[in-house]
Structure 1
């Protein structure tokens, strides 16, 4: 029987894929087949059944099975059927007196659609020698598991199989993703030519044959020269052939028989290796004389195949796990750096070395906002827009990879020498941005077992057909246009990186949005505060003019009075906006607001408490709060008439906090405000929000009572004998600076310094400070790149690094300076604590802007001193 195709034009290497090899309608010569219906009526038999039943097909078809088999055999078959589902494997009985006449048979039973198929073979004596299936498999697996490397496992497998089965050649054939395969292990007689390392095209094992290898895990061909036995009748009453997919005696395609004959093989046996329900590989056993294995031995080898599939799967999973663990460590390190720096998409190219360590490649590119930045071997920039448009056609949220870009993107032929393979990670949806990894062309020589396309056409009674190739001599092919393939671990690492980068970018965008929202809120608050204060000041100016007129005796007197009050108001305003930003006395803050806004009524305000100095950052908040308290009292409270008084008392409580009590009395009756104005909001929320303190306001009929609690870090207690307002630590700082001035001059004298600062005015100011304090030479840089050039070409003694250089930070300079032994100090405007990356020494000092000369010189001196230790 030959497989035919309609015309010569349709002939190609995939024609074998169309052959219905599971419906050939024949069994091999050593087997006998009986197919019965679900009500146990004989539907089909093999033409040779008379050899065992004494009756031919004509006498058996349509007869109940119970008429030809004893009740014990019927009972045994029913027992096995209880364990089966349709189209789901077969059950076996070994060495049974199946016909009750003393002859021993091996029997296989399975269900195929609407038929029960019973296959018989004469039992071979001593099929397993002196052992049993379990003991044999246990011994084989024990020897195999002693092998440590996966390749050693493969070699031991074929060695064990050859020893047990006695076949001339045993090969382990591993499939590639495209269906082709290679011999990865081999055990053979010395006289045979080795096939180890040879590749076989996918067409050597058609697709439907690979599917059958998954369903039916073992396959025997005892003698390629033997005549197969027909199944009678070939079809059922509906014209359908019998499905022999799970048959253990099924005949073989004549095309495959011809293939084996061309190889000189007389008998073969195969054992499938199935991993994750896919045909991973195949043990192919060849013998150059006819050879038959009993059903019991074949079943034992089927069990071996199932066990060894688990062993190989475990070894491969272990190797994959080790690779993935290593990749995970690199991934965590890379993501840690990303989180520490929060780069924009355009800045991701700065992490090229880290990404290339995670996913090995020859070139790396970042395509962001229609601009490309590349590192290593990549297509030229003018070729990247076309690649980006090609990638845009792929899924927006999936990693795309190919080791032969030119096969799906023809224009890639133009740069195949620079980039043959591509892996792209999408990092945004609109616009489409990508991280792209490129691999160069890998010119490879593949050794095939004969030319894959060497299949001659023959003409038979049914027209032309492709025949198996006749030559299996090693034939080499040079493969071009491909790169090293991207492994599953590469793809998993890429997917993990995609998710992590999206999280980092999302975090960066959320932080940027939060900062923008916060800045907008601060701006709105500032505008509202400015509007509020300007209106109050204008109203106050008008009131000052009106109220001052009554007490003035002359125009000059009037000018003096109103001028003094306006000056007091100006002093209060100066306190809030003082650019010296020094600590202030709590008493003076309250006193200034009172003098500015209530004038001659100042005697009705009583201040009592210890000499407390408040931090500069605390001062403006308190000035604003007490400004509102005073103005409210002057408008509606105790100072709005001629009798009311105010007592302001403060103390240090048991928690080291400063408690301020505001009490009004003797004024008009107080009513809670009917609406909540901006001034009330400032009073109640400024101290809790800005300082972390507490505020409570009570509206009693006799007068307003307020309680303000300042946390310990916002103030300190001044010397009882000296209540003069000054900056705490000012004298100590001066003395300290004076004490170490000779040492400072000695350390900076003659030194060469580098200032990295993107603001020219600040840079010039710092330069002059260093020159004034003994530095011999000062160089400046506005970017990391410019600074690196100076460090590499100049002899430096000290460096001053502004953290924020606009579009980048100066953190990248730290390891370079440390390697060269150059001490450095950071300058920052970020606030109290600078969050340094982990790789920077914790002892590195950072000073805040704006800095004074003594602060700068002292910090540099300490850095030089540490470096000389």
Structure 2
């Protein structure tokens, strides 16, 4: 191989990788022990010839070139050649058995034919019919293969194969030379003469066998060098006259060998060699490398035996590895099935893959050969930027940075899987934790955001024995500008760091299976989530429509209340008080309905909401009782207004206006499934039937009838007001039939009057109208309002620093909750209530669940009464 002057000027540019550019497929010469004829199939003229044509064919080269092929071959031989060409593409050489091309009775020949560029190439060698294997080459192959498939281990399988090749061929040394992923070679098995130094387990750099040589090993199962020191037999003429270019000898068996390779062998002390390709799944797995330390020519029939053995050995190797992969995949599939089963109920599949049994380390073994032989390796899962890990892994920050890098790396690869046993060489930042993660098997299980599963293998520090220094540059030779291969093949030991035990094909297959399964899980969950979002959206639309409907109905009812209350009011004060109380009654019924999710309202609770409001010190005693009944929402709202009117009237004019008064309120289920309710007042002031029916009486008598289909009757008897209310079965949402025991509630006797104390009340509220109502209450009572605080930060400041007697706290201040304010007040032992439109049971935190709630809307009277209870 010629080196350019620029390469000589720069010695760093000269190394064995320059051999990758050597055109070894067009050497223009053949090995001298054979002969080659190149025939133009269009004319059957011999257009090129080379080699020992006199010794083998009995004709000198100059008489062959330009001659017709039928001048050399018999008519029978020409017919057979034409038939062979017609029936076969002859891309690969076809061996023609002796005596097909015998040109003289005393010289048996072996021949091979193939086609290239529309030319027929015939290669001729001397045959050796006396060889013991020449008569039965197939039996020889069978003997070589016998029992190989029963050897359980791969190294044993390869060792036995090397021994059998040596036994048949007679070479001094036969090695199984295996190619590693980085292209370097490894003597995996060896059979040798005892006098020879062993090469077993030595490594050789990838540059020792150039890329184009490996490509030809894929095309030709066998290559032969009978003697390293030979003079190549040049083709005559050099360029093919038909194509006008050098003859492509990629398939030629007698192709001349690169002078660099011959010098390489010479430096090793080898005088003859043969290589047999080992091909697995279309890729060059390795070679049978045969060395002899004196000239040796192997007959063509024996080379055919070796070629067939190499092919059969490759098939057995592939079958063996496929069987191992199949068994490993079956085992991993069982674990995968259990993994997926366990994920069925896991919302966070990242956590589920780690904490369940089996887990990801059971699925793919991350441990490897290491100084820490018990080191199981580690695995990490990144889902929605949350990282979960198991075993020995980098830190969360390091994993986050690694996955950011992997996002681009995996997008470029396109298959969602990244594998390396030397992460620090791929990504220098990983050198910081190569003791934990020199090996990485990464699987992407989503696209946006990137979710990853990452298995980490620790660094394996080991000594590698090389056949000579793999990094030593070659030298320029003395005979012109020629590349000289390295001369030293003494064992050179290198300590290798930053490498992990390589991931095998079963690991990669398992990772692929997991990715497919998880993508299916993720996609199904996305689909479910989309359906849930759509359902939630439709439900939200329905709820908004329902809310709009109810708000408008409520506003319509309030508008009607305003109108009707104004008709019966005798003064502005009377109007405001009546309207306020009626709105309060509706609000209480709404609160009860909200607590039940608008399923209905318990009748007893509805009654208590109304009558408890009037249990002041001067109130009379009430008796309530009846079965457990749940009213339908519409009936509950209507009945609440009716009960409000009855209770308000009793508190102003009837039994609840004096301490001696009595109120009995009982109900029972009718035979038809409806409800009968009796209101009876006794012991109060004398009652006279009013001359004009007011809005309250009209509401009681007509609203129930129109809203529920029921009926009611109000009577003004001398002993007190009586009212009978009947509700149809449709007004009952649910009834147990079991009566609620009558309960008598007696208000305490009036307490002696106490002198009024000036109080300081902290007000935390963000509604200006509510603040004005509270301010009016404070002015009427002669108390001082502290604040008001409309923001949480201001409220916290006042709660911590001001001397107050009690506090009114709005739950929600412009989106911020007032829990921290309440906790400060509780710590200072200052009583307080929450004011809110929320249902307290749904919003209060556990530590504040016992705090009293003053529900909005409320009146000034409600504020005063609640404050007095606090104080």
Normalised to the residue count of structure 2, the TM-score between the two structures is 0.62
Aligned to 1:487: 504
> 1:766-822, CA deviations, whole angstroms, 9 ceiling, x for partnerless residues?
xxxxxxxxxxxxxxxxxxxxxxxxxxxxxxxxxxxxxxxxxxxxxxxxxxxxxxxxx
Q: Residue 507 of structure 2: SS of its match in structure 1?
A: helix
RMSD over aligned Cα atoms: 4.8
> How far apart in 2 are the matches of 1:282 and 1:195?
15
Q: Is the 8 A contact 1:143 1:156 kept in 2?
A: no
> How far apart in 2 are the matches of 1:581 and 1:540?
19
> 1:108-164, CA deviations, whole angstroms, 9 ceiling, x for partnerless residues?
000011321011112202345375233332333232123233333222222222222
Q: Residue 323 of structure 1: SS of its match in structure 2?
A: helix
Q: Which residues in structure 2 correspond to 1:519-530 (within 5 Å)?
A: 519-530=536-547
Aligned to 2:854: none
Structure 2 residue 417 is matched with structure 1 residue 399: yes
Aligned to 2:371: none
Structure 2 residue 433 is matched with structure 1 residue 429: no
Q: Residue 283 of structure 1: SS of its match in structure 2?
A: strand
> How far apart in 2 are the matches of 1:348 and 1:53?
74
Deviation at 1:240, TM superposition (A): 2.0
> How far apart in 2 are the matches of 1:305 and 1:649?
97
Q: Is the 8 A contact 2:439 2:501 kept in 1?
A: yes
Q: Which residues in structure 2 correspond to 1:101-250 (within 5 Å)?
A: 101-102=104-105, 103-129=107-133, 132-237=136-241, 240-250=245-255
Q: Residue 359 of structure 2: SS of its match in structure 1?
A: helix
> How far apart in 2 are the matches of 1:486 and 1:631?
82
Note the residue ranges of structure 2 that are not aligned, 5 or more in a row. Answer: 368-376, 568-573, 604-626, 643-668, 675-701, 712-726, 741-848, 850-871
Deviation at 1:570, TM superposition (A): 8.9
Aligned to 2:277: 272
> How far apart in 2 are the matches of 1:22 and 1:507?
55
> Is 352-361 or 301-310 further displaced after alignment?
352-361
Deviation at 1:200, TM superposition (A): 1.8
Q: Which residues in structure 2 correspond to 1:802-821 (within 5 Å)?
A: none
Deviation at 1:536, TM superposition (A): 4.7
> 1:295-345, CA deviations, whole angstroms, 9 ceiling, x for partnerless residues?
122122212211221110010111122222222233333333333212076
Bigger Cα Rg: 2
> How far apart in 1 are the matches of 2:163 and 2:703?
100
Change (3 A) 1:145 1:500: closer
Structure 1 counterpart of 2:513, from 491, 496, 502: 496
Number of residue-to-residue matches in the alignment: 628
Q: Which residues in structure 2 correspond to 1:316-355 (within 5 Å)?
A: 316-343=321-348, 354-355=359-360
Q: Is the 8 A contact 1:12 1:466 kept in 2?
A: no
> How far apart in 2 are the matches of 1:574 and 1:149?
79
> How far apart in 2 are the matches of 1:181 and 1:631?
99
Q: Residue 453 of structure 2: SS of its match in structure 1?
A: strand
Q: Which residues in structure 2 correspond to 1:756-835 (within 5 Å)?
A: none
Deviation at 1:370, TM superposition (A): 5.9
Structure 1 counterpart of 2:309, from 290, 304, 307: 304
> How far apart in 1 are the matches of 2:299 and 2:232?
18
Structure 1 counterpart of 2:475, from 451, 457, 461: 457
Deviation at 1:279, TM superposition (A): 0.9
Aligned to 2:836: none
> How far apart in 2 are the matches of 1:252 and 1:591?
100
Change (3 A) 1:549 1:212: closer
Deviation at 1:31, TM superposition (A): 1.0
Q: Is the 8 A contact 1:32 1:120 kept in 2?
A: yes
Structure 2 residue 35 is matched with structure 1 residue 32: yes
Structure 2 residue 259 is matched with structure 1 residue 259: no
Aligned to 1:55: 59
Q: Is the 8 A contact 1:379 1:419 kept in 2?
A: yes
Change (3 A) 1:356 1:631: farther
Change (3 A) 1:53 1:418: closer
Aligned to 1:823: none
Q: Is the 8 A contact 2:222 2:307 kept in 1?
A: yes
> How far apart in 1 are the matches of 2:739 and 2:525?
44
Change (3 A) 1:456 1:304: same
Q: Residue 14 of structure 1: SS of its match in structure 2?
A: helix
Change (3 A) 1:299 1:524: same
Aligned to 1:799: none
> 1:175-194, CA deviations, whole angstroms, 9 ceiling, x for partnerless residues?
11222121222222233222
> How far apart in 2 are the matches of 1:409 and 1:592?
70
> Is 342-351 or 471-480 further displaced after alignment?
342-351
Aligned to 1:474: 491
> 1:701-739, CA deviations, whole angstroms, 9 ceiling, x for partnerless residues?
xxxxxxxxxxxxx99xx9xxx95479xxxxxxxxxxxxx
> How far apart in 1 are the matches of 2:633 and 2:209?
99
Q: Is the 8 A contact 1:274 1:280 kept in 2?
A: yes
Q: Residue 339 of structure 1: SS of its match in structure 2?
A: helix
Deviation at 1:350, TM superposition (A): 5.2
Q: Is the 8 A contact 2:2 2:481 kept in 1?
A: no
Deviation at 1:65, TM superposition (A): 0.8
Deviation at 1:596, TM superposition (A): 5.4
Aligned to 2:290: 285
> Is 389-398 or 171-180 further displaced after alignment?
389-398
Q: Is the 8 A contact 2:602 2:630 kept in 1?
A: no
> How far apart in 1 are the matches of 2:32 and 2:467?
30
Aligned to 1:416: 434
Deviation at 1:593, TM superposition (A): 4.5
